[in-house]
Amino acid sequence: MRNKPRTKSKAPSPAKVSKPAVAAPQPSAAGRCDPQSTSLAGRVALVTGSSKGLGKAMAFALGAAGAKVAVNYCNGREQAERTFAEFTARGWSGGLFRADVTRESAVNRLVADIGRKLGPVDIVVVNATPDQPHAPIEEYGWDFHQQMLDFFVKSPYLLARAVLPHMKQQRWGRIVNIGTENVRLGVPNFSAYCAAKGAQAAWSASMARELAPWAITVNTVCPGWIPVERHENDPQSAKDAYLAGIPMKRWGIPADVGGIVAFLASEAASFLTGQDIAVNGGNTVC
């Protein structure tokens, strides 16, 4: 008997999209004043690109809050091992995982490995980034644009797909995307980066509404220019000009970003979703 020809499947209409059978669980109002509402004890967090810079600060903040943290890196094994040694020396629990989070097979393997070693991922912080050179549009080839899209559109998609089954099953989850103030500022000679980050922000807003019925929050943290290792060779004149424009008149530090990420991952932020939160001393305001 001959098989019937396969027909192209159609995307489901909005009416057919599955939704939870019951409403999201109602949190206790009394718990909002309880210090335990910011504790992440019993949670497992993944921070991509967390061997150095802002990612390291995020991983450390989550560890300090009690989460078991998967520290992720792709390149620079020695740096990653030093970071994880520092992490465990503080008495925190976690693991060190190498993976290219722009590749589907690597992401699926990463999430599975974390599940076996630490437990299923409850919190994912999408932070990994490539180099971000400034250049006029004529000097950006499409390969460079594609790299930006791979990190800031493809990677968030792959990570969400991998962690959502567990989050939906337990009806709790946190997805924190790391954006940038540059989308609002429209920084020149930065078009490929800004375009991809803008797409990531729009995707986050859509996902926030889609996942809210499962008590899964999706927010975007948008740091300003916070000097870390990658900025060691940046011109001092550029740094001075940026600092002069910050209303708070000080540089941000990585812990400023780590603190807001830990808050968004906590129960205290359970009713906060779909937001872009600028961590830049007032350099951009709504």
Among the residue ranges 17-31, 43-57, 110-124, 189-203, the one predicted with the least confidence is 17-31
What pLDDT score was predicted for residue 9? 45
Average pLDDT of the residues in 118-133: 94
Is there a catalytic annotation at residue 193?
yes
Using a 10 angstrom Cβ sphere, with 0-12 exposed, 13-18 middle and 19 or more buried, the burial of residue 111 is buried
The answer to whether 279 and 251 are in contact (CB under 8 A) is: no
Average pLDDT of the residues in 198-205: 96
Q: 16-43: per-residue pLDDT in tens?
A: 445 665 566 665 554 455 656 899 999 9
Confidence bin at 241 (pLDDT 50/70/90): confident
Could you tell me which residues are beta bridge partners of residue 73? Answer: 98
What pLDDT score was predicted for residue 225? 86
Q: 128-144: per-residue pLDDT in tens?
A: 999 888 899 998 899 99
- Inform me whether the pLDDT recorded for 1 exceeds 70: no
What pLDDT score was predicted for residue 242? 84
Average pLDDT of the residues in 65-93: 97
The catalytically annotated residue of 140, 157, 193, 242 is 193
Confidence bin at 12 (pLDDT 50/70/90): very low
Could you tell me which residues are beta bridge partners of residue 219? Answer: 176
Which string of DSSP letters, residue by residue, matches the chain?
A: -PPPPP----PPPGGGS---SSPPPPPPSGGGGSGGGG--TT-EEEETT-SSHHHHHHHHHHHHTT-EEEEEESS-HHHHHHHHHHHHHTT--EEEEE--TTSHHHHHHHHHHHHHHT-S-SEEEE----------GGG--HHHHHHHHIIIIIHHHHHHHHHHHHHHHHT-EEEEEE--THHHHT-TT-HHHHHHHHHHHHHHHHHHHHHGGGTEEEEEEEE-----GGGTTS-HHHHHHHHHT-TT-S---HHHHHHHHHHHHSGGGTT--S-EEEESTTSS--
CA proximity to 264, closest of 256, 254, 273, 253: 273
- Name which residue leads in pLDDT, 31 or 247: 247
What pLDDT score was predicted for residue 28? 53
What pLDDT score was predicted for residue 14? 41
pTM of the model: 0.87
Non-local (6+) Cβ contacts of 146 within 8 A are none
Confidence bin at 228 (pLDDT 50/70/90): confident
What pLDDT score was predicted for residue 133? 82
Average pLDDT, the chain: 89
What pLDDT score was predicted for residue 2? 46
What pLDDT score was predicted for residue 52? 95
CA angle centred on 82, ends 81 and 87, rounded to 5°: 95
Among the residue ranges 167-171, 179-183, 269-273, the one predicted with the least confidence is 179-183
Out of 3.40.50.2000, 2.60.40.10, 3.30.70.100, 3.40.50.720, the CATH code matching 36-279 is 3.40.50.720
What pLDDT score was predicted for residue 91? 97
- Inform me whether the pLDDT recorded for 72 exceeds 50: yes
What pLDDT score was predicted for residue 4? 46
- Portion of the chain with pLDDT greater than 90, in percent: 70
Average pLDDT of the residues in 262-281: 96
- Name which residue leads in pLDDT, 24 or 107: 107
Structure tokens at 158: 């792959």
Rg for the chain, CA atoms, rounded: 20
